[in-house]
Structure 1
Amino acid sequence: MTTETVAIAEWRALDRDGRDQCRLVRSDGGWMLVGHARFGEAEGRSRLDYVIRCDAEWHTQGADVSGVYREKPVALCIKRSGNDWVLNDLPQPDVEGAVDIDLGFTPATNLMPLRRLCEVGRMQARAAWLRDPESGLQPLNQAYTRERGGLVRYEAEQTGFQTELKVSGDGFVTLYPGYWEAQTLP
């Protein structure tokens, strides 16, 4: 397999003590996000590594999440085949039809829909949302609207959450208000 790192992003958490670093890798026939999230909360420390595999059109094909979440071991294997999703070999019918994975502990997974979003316009996408490694997959209908100055309006239907994301030219979020802020790499 041939791979090439095309971008690196690093974020500082704004709502807790935490960091996340992610590499965007071009691979044969698609893309990968390879990241490392580290954060602490009242419930304990978390050290999560993730790999997300996408096809050439930025649709999620699968993801692996491993490490420790709130001091408990984590090993998740998520696969998508057509409209169907599986988490550790268990079918996930609630997220049928989703095209993206949304890992709730990192801003990296906004990259896939942002890469599909036109220069001007609005796009809706259904995600298989892993709110946290203990919650399983849930449906999350999202809308992205490109605005001026590198801003993208983001809305999540099931939670009612709305915000304006700042986005870099490579598609990574640079500011997720209240949650994440990009850091300059040395």
Structure 2
Amino acid sequence: MELLTPRLLLREFKEDDWHFTNLYEADLKVMRFQTQEVRDFKGSQEYIQQCIAEAKEEPRTLFDLAIVLRSTDMLIGKVGMKVDYDAEEAALWYILNRTYWNKGYGTEAAQELLKFGFEELHLHRVWADCDPRNIGSYRIMEKLGMRREAHFRENIFIKGEWCDSLVYAILDHEWQHKIIPS
């Protein structure tokens, strides 16, 4: 599976991608608001192997794709969706190497995956969540046209503390009528 945007290629992970994913998976600032801990080399290798195996499952419910800069062929992050076909919805996520923050890559990648979800998988709803302190993450959701549905207080225990969660979502008919600024 490959999806193209003006600046990005979203593709399946390859065995040797762990070298690049570990650049952000081992970064404490990048991983601060993620549920998983920082990963060592072995953890990154195992995660890539898991992604490759899950991509072969039928029906496919997990779409975890590498974000690659088309201009340099550099893997800079990942974007994904976990699909629940019975509910006609999916959970969306994204994570970028810190070097590539604030350049619009996260929004561009997530926008293309939303398009795939609504136009190819015919989903009714896509949602995402984040820690309210993760301003960059919820700004991406807002740029995607997602609306805030909830602010849960101390609903998840992550890395030794109780954390809040913001939940954003967009429906298929909202997606059809939205315009995302460049």
TM-score (norm 2): 0.37
More strand by share: 1
TM-score (norm 1): 0.37
More helix by share: 2
